[in-house]
């Protein structure tokens, strides 16, 4: 099952939408390039087990 969620780029602050594969678990992390500035963001994804609401925190990658 897939869902979309918004995150804010750790570099430029612009918002982007990403697909989240809910079958990947309730806690995920991966790297995705910003759709605006193309810099890599480390996404920390958490999914609420009851509501399936997705939240994303970002951090810069080195």
H/E stretch holding 3 reads strand 2-8
Rounded Cα distance between 48 and 57, Å, is 14
Report domain extents, the chain. 2-60
Task: List the pLDDT tens digit at each of the 62 positions of the chain.
Answer: 668 999 999 999 999 999 999 999 999 999 999 999 999 999 999 999 999 999 999 999 77
For the chain, give me the number of helices (H) and strands (E)? 0, 5
Q: Is the pTM of this model over 0.75?
A: yes
């Amino acid at each position: 099952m897939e869902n979309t969620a918004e995150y804010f780029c750790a570099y430029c602050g612009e918002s982007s939408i990403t697909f989240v594969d809910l079958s990947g678990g309730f806690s995920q992390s991966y790297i995705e390039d910003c759709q605006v500035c193309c810099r890599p963001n480390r996404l920390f994804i958490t999914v609420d087990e009851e509501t399936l609401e997705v939240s994303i925190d970002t951090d810069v990658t080195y």
